[in-house]
Structure 1
Amino acid sequence: MKDPTLVCASLVAPSPEDMAREMGIAADHGADLVELRLDSLASFNPRPHLHFLLKHRPLPVIVTFRPKWEGGEYEGDENWRLDALRLAMEFGADYVDIELQAAQEFVESISVKKPENFKLIVSSHNYQTTPSIEELGNLVSRIQAVGADIVKIATSPVDISDVTRMFKMLAHCQEEQQVPMIGMVMGERGLVSRLLCPKFGGYLTFCSLNIGKESAPGQPTITDLMNLYRIKQIRTDTMVLGLIGKPVGHSKSPLLHNAALNSVGINAVYVPFLVDDLASFLKAFSYPDFAGFSVGIPHKVTAITCCDEVDPIAKCIGAVNTIVRRPSDGKLIGYNTDYVGAISAIEDGIRGLIGDHSIELPLDGRIFVVIGAGGAGKALAYGAKAKGARVVIANRTYAGAKALAESVGCDALLFTELESFNPEKGMVLANTTSVGMQPNVHDTPIAKSALGHYDLVFDAVYTPKETRLLREAKESGIPVVSGVEMFIRQAMKQFDLFTGLPAPEEMMRDFVMKNI
C-alpha cells in the first residue's frame, strides 16, 4: 500500500527567525514537513543561518534555494548557491530540491558524502504550458536518470483539462513503482492538482501558511488544505464533486458541501474547478469517481448541450446547474436546482408578507420582474411562470431579454427601462445577475428610488450576504429574500442528487448562517 501523501508547508520569510517561527506554526497546523525557501531570506548567510534553522527543526525539512531562472528570487553566483545546498545536506536537511538544469553537477558533487536517509528532489518548472503525456514521460525519465530520489514536475495550464495529464503521469509512476513523484499544475486552474494529489499517488503537495505567502502560484493555505478539503482523508477511491465556473474563487459551495459530506461520513471531497470551456472539461475529467458537479456562471446554459440526458424541468428552463454522472453507464445527467431553491424561498417570503403560510400559490397573478437573462434568470422566469406569476424580463441587451421572454411567454424590457416601469403595486423583483457580487459590492442593478413599487425584493447574489440592492430595499421598508436562502435550498437538493441521501438540512442551514 502506498504511503499517504505528505503535506508540505512552503515557507517564505524575510529572516531566519521568522522562518523558524513559521516552522512551529506549520507543525501546529498538522504539516508533515516544511520547505525552507532560502531565496526569500533578505540577507542569507549559509553557515550560521542553516545551522540555526536545522538544529531545532520541529519537522522534516526540504531546503530549496531557487534561482531567478527557475522562478525563484536568487540572482547571485551559482557556485555559491550550490555550496549552500551542499552545506544544508551536511547539516542534516532531510531533503534538498535542485533544478534539473543544475542537477548533474550537484549529484556528482554529493555522491560520496550523501547521508543514508537524505533524499534529493530534482525538479523541473514550466511556467508556460503543460507538456503532452509523452513529453512528461520523457521528462520523468530524464530526472530519474540524473539520480533523483524524488521526481518533481510543476507546469502551467492553458486550460484546466491540462491537469488530467499530470494526474495520468502521477498514476503511471505509482503503478510502475518508479521513483516517487511530486506533480502539480500551478495557478488557479491547477489548484485541483494540489487538492487531489493523494487520489492519484503524488508523494507530497505544497501549501502556504497564509494567503499572500505562496511560494508558487495556486498554493492553497494549510488551513484550507487540512480543514476545508480534509486532504488527509482523500484516498484513491474518494469520490470527487465540485463547482464548475468562472470565476469560482468567491464561491462558498466548497465550504458547505464539504462540511455536509463530512457530517454524514461520505468518502468524498468537493473542489472548485475554474473552467473556460465546459465541453472540453467534461471530456477530460471523465473519470468514474468524478461523480457530480455544480454548474455556475457562465456555463449553465451551455451545460444543456453537454449532458447526455437533461431532466425535463431543466430542459424547459434551458439551463442546468447540476450534473450527475450516472454510475451504471457513466452518462451525464443535467438538473436545475436553482429553480427549486429560489422559487420556494420567494414563495415563503410572500407567505410571510401576507401572513398566510397555508396559501398554495402566493405568486399567482403577481408581476414578477426578473433582472438578467442567463441561466439563473431562466430558472427564475420559468419557475415564476409555472407558479402563476406574470413574468417580465429585464436585461442589458434587449435581444437577450426578448429571447428569454419569447421562450417563457412573457414581456421584455431593457435594463434601463426598469426605473420607469411601475404598472402596479405589489410586484416582486428578482435579481439574477452578478451585479453587486464581491468585489463589486457597491454596485446595484436598479436605483433605490425605483424600489417602491415592489412588495418583495430577491437577490440571487449571496456574497456578500446583504447586497446593496437588499440593503436599499430594507431602507425603503421592503421585505427581502437573500441569495443565501436560495443557496441553502439549491445546495440541499444538489446533495440529494450527488449522494442519493437526504441532505442534512439542519446542519447545512446552521453552517451557512454561521460561516457564510
Structure 2
Amino acid sequence: MPRSPAGKICIVIGEANPAQWEEAILKARPEANYLELRLDCLKVSDLTASNFKKWVRLAEVPVIATLRRKANGGQFIGSEAEQVEILKVALEANVAFLDVEIETIENYLHGELALLKKAPTRLIVSYHNFEETPVSLESIYQRLLQVRPDVLKVATLAHSFSDNFRLLELIEKTRQQNLSIISVAMGELGVYSRIVAPSRGALLTYGSMGNSQATAPGQLSAHDLRLVYALDEINEQTRFYGVIGYPVGHSLSPQIHNAAFRERGLNARYLPLAIQDLQDFGPHLKRFAGFSITIPHKVAILSYVDRLDSTVKMTGAANTLVRQGDDLWAYNTDVYGIRYALRKPLEEGIHQTTLLGAGGAARSAAIVLKESHCQVTVLGRDREKTRRFASEFGFDYDSLSQAPKYRGELLINATPLGMSPGTEQTPLQEHAIHYRWVFDMVYNPLETRLMRQSKGKALVISGLEMFVAQAAKQFELWTGLEPPRDLMRKIALEKLNASNRSAS
C-alpha cells in the first residue's frame, strides 16, 4: 500500500523507456509526496497491466496516471477511444488518481465518467492551456464542475503576473464548496502560484527531479520546493519577498535569504520573480513585504516607490525595496556592500585609487571613495561617458586602454570583465598590476582571472564580500534583525563552488 502523503509535492516521471522509468521512480520516491506517471512518454506496448502494478508498487506514494494527448500538450497520438482503454488498464492497477482531459470526457465519454470510476482511484479532470490564461476562468471552472470529478485541475500559461492571483482565487472558490483542486500558472511568471497554491488549499504542486528536467514551463525542482522554499511550512501568515529582474534563474538570492529567514525563525519566503514588464507587475508590489531589484529594473523601479533613501538619491538607482506601512521605500545596499568590502584598506588609509568602469556598480564605488576623500582616476571605454561620470564626483578620468600606466594603493574593477561565462577576460594584464589592494566586484567565478593575476602582488578582495554584505543589509532593512552573515556567506560559497564545478 502506498504511504499517505505528508506534503504536497508531486514529481513528474516522463522518461522514455521502462528501465529509465523505474530508475526515475526510485530516485524520485524520497523527495515526492505524489508521483505523476506521464504514460504518453512511453510506447503503447509498454503500457501493460503488469507494468502498471509494478510502478504503483515501486512508487510507495500515491500515483497519478495520465496519458496526455498531443492536442493537450502531451505525446500520445492515438485516438480518445485508445486513450480511455489504456487508462482503464491503469485503473485496474489501483493507481491513486487518473488525470483525464476535459476534452476527452466531453468529446468521447459525453460527460459520463462511469468507465473511469473505480474505487479507490480518484478522478482528476483537467483543463490545460499552453498559450494563455483565458479571460473567463469561471466558465472553465463551471465546465469542469459539470462532470462532477473528484479533483479539478486548471493549468494555464501566465502572460501577466495577475494570472497567479486569478488561479489562486479558484482555490478559494473550491475550498468554500468543499472541493479539491490543482491550480497552476505555468511559465516564468507563474512561479508564485506554484509555491503559494498548496498553502491556499491546492491538492499539490508539481516539481521536477532537477532544474533541467522540468516537464512544464516554470516548474521548479522538488528539491528546491522542499529545501529552499520549505513548501509544506508556508501558511496564510507567511510574508513574501522576492528578487525582481530578468533573467533571475541563476540568482543566488533565494537560497541565501530563505536560509537566513529560517535561521532567524521567521515565517517568510523569498521568491524568484522573472519580471520583464514592470508596468504589469507594478500593481502587485505592495502585496509583498520587500524586494531585491536587479538588472534591468534598478532605475525604472523608482517610478513605483513612495520614498527614496539617501543611497538612492546619490546613486540614482535602487536594489532594495522595503514596505513600511502603506509606503514602499527604495534603498541601494550596494553602497553598504562596497563600504564593507573596502573596510580594511579604508581603515589603513587610501589615497590613490584607480576605478575601472563608469556604470551603476562604479557609481556605488565612487560614493564610498568620495566620502573617504580618495584621489581617484576613473577609466572607461566610452571616453565621453567616463568624463561626465568623473566630473560628477570631481575625479580624474582616462581611457580604459590606458590602465597599464596607472598605479596606486587600490584598484577596483567595476566592469563585468571576467564574469562567467567570460572567465578568461581581464581588464588588466599581470605586468600592469601595481597596487597594494585589488578589489574585483565580480563574484562569479569566485576567483577571477584578475584575482589570480594579482595574487602575490597585491592583497585581493573578492566580489563575494560585497555581494554577501549588501544581501545582509537587505535582510536587516526588511526584518530589523541582525543578519546571519556567516551562514549567508557559507551558502553563497557552496552555490558558487557547485556552479563553478558544473561549468568546468
Does 1:466 pair with 2:468? no
Q: Residues 29 and 59 of structure 2 are in contact (CA less than 8 Å); yes or no, is this contact kept in structure 1?
A: no
Q: Residues 370 and 431 of structure 1 are in contact (CA less than 8 Å); yes or no, is this contact kept in structure 2?
A: yes
- Helix, strand or coil for the counterpart of 2:209? coil
Q: Structure 1's 228 and 406: CA in aligned 2 closer, same or farther, altered over 3 A?
A: same
Give the partner amino acid of 1:410.
F
**Deviation for aligned residue 1:201:** 3.1
Q: Residues 420 and 450 of structure 1 are in contact (CA less than 8 Å); yes or no, is this contact kept in structure 2?
A: no
**Deviation for aligned residue 1:345:** 0.7
Q: Structure 1's 211 and 106: CA in aligned 2 closer, same or farther, altered over 3 A?
A: farther
Q: Residues 210 and 222 of structure 2 are in contact (CA less than 8 Å); yes or no, is this contact kept in structure 1?
A: yes
Does 1:291 pair with 2:286? no
Aligned pair partner of 1:74 in 52, 73, 76 = 76
- The residue aligned with 1:354 is none
Q: Residues 192 and 273 of structure 2 are in contact (CA less than 8 Å); yes or no, is this contact kept in structure 1?
A: yes
Aligned pair partner of 1:53 in 45, 52, 55 = 55
Does 1:430 pair with 2:409? no
The C-alpha deviation readout for 1:294-320, integer Å capped at 9, x for no partner, is 111222222333211011122112111
Give the partner amino acid of 2:343.
E
Which structure 2 residues correspond to residues 370-409 of structure 1 after superposition, within 5 A?
370-374=356-360, 376-398=361-383, 400-409=385-394
Cα distance in 2 for residues equivalent to 1:236 and 1:399: 53
- Helix, strand or coil for the counterpart of 1:286? helix
Q: Percent identity among equivalent residues?
A: 34
Cα distance in 1 for residues equivalent to 2:471 and 2:309: 17
Q: Residues 304 and 334 of structure 1 are in contact (CA less than 8 Å); yes or no, is this contact kept in structure 2?
A: yes
Which structure 2 residues correspond to residues 112-511 of structure 1 after superposition, within 5 A?
114-132=117-135, 135-174=136-175, 176-177=176-177, 179-287=179-287, 290-326=288-324, 328=325, 330-348=326-344, 350=345, 359=348, 362-363=349-350, 365-374=351-360, 376-398=361-383, 400-413=385-398, 417-421=399-403, 424-426=406-408, 428-444=410-426, 446-448=427-429, 451-474=432-455, 477-511=457-491
Q: Structure 1's 121 and 390: CA in aligned 2 closer, same or farther, altered over 3 A?
A: farther
Q: Residues 199 and 232 of structure 2 are in contact (CA less than 8 Å); yes or no, is this contact kept in structure 1?
A: no
TM-score by length of 2: 0.89
Give the partner amino acid of 2:36.
E
Q: Residues 62 and 97 of structure 1 are in contact (CA less than 8 Å); yes or no, is this contact kept in structure 2?
A: yes
Cα distance in 2 for residues equivalent to 1:228 and 1:304: 30
Q: Residues 358 and 389 of structure 2 are in contact (CA less than 8 Å); yes or no, is this contact kept in structure 1?
A: no
Q: Residues 72 and 101 of structure 2 are in contact (CA less than 8 Å); yes or no, is this contact kept in structure 1?
A: yes
**Deviation for aligned residue 1:440:** 3.4
Give the partner amino acid of 1:236.
E
Give the partner amino acid of 1:125.
H
- Helix, strand or coil for the counterpart of 1:196? helix
Matched residues, number: 490
- Helix, strand or coil for the counterpart of 2:433? helix
Q: Residues 198 and 236 of structure 1 are in contact (CA less than 8 Å); yes or no, is this contact kept in structure 2?
A: no
- Helix, strand or coil for the counterpart of 1:181? strand
Deviates more, 1:382-391 or 1:232-241: 382-391
Deviates more, 1:447-456 or 1:88-97: 447-456
Cα distance in 2 for residues equivalent to 1:164 and 1:406: 48
Q: Which runs of 5+ in 2 are unaligned?
A: 497-504
Q: Structure 1's 16 and 220: CA in aligned 2 closer, same or farther, altered over 3 A?
A: same
**Deviation for aligned residue 1:64:** 1.1
Q: Residues 311 and 332 of structure 2 are in contact (CA less than 8 Å); yes or no, is this contact kept in structure 1?
A: yes
Q: Residues 459 and 482 of structure 1 are in contact (CA less than 8 Å); yes or no, is this contact kept in structure 2?
A: yes
**Deviation for aligned residue 1:449:** 5.2
- Helix, strand or coil for the counterpart of 2:280? helix
**Deviation for aligned residue 1:392:** 4.2
Quote the RMSD (CA, aligned, Å). 2.6
**Deviation for aligned residue 1:254:** 1.2
Q: Residues 5 and 203 of structure 1 are in contact (CA less than 8 Å); yes or no, is this contact kept in structure 2?
A: no
Q: Structure 1's 429 and 304: CA in aligned 2 closer, same or farther, altered over 3 A?
A: farther
Q: Residues 250 and 463 of structure 1 are in contact (CA less than 8 Å); yes or no, is this contact kept in structure 2?
A: no
Cα distance in 2 for residues equivalent to 1:435 and 1:178: 57
- Helix, strand or coil for the counterpart of 2:29? helix
Q: Structure 1's 255 and 55: CA in aligned 2 closer, same or farther, altered over 3 A?
A: closer
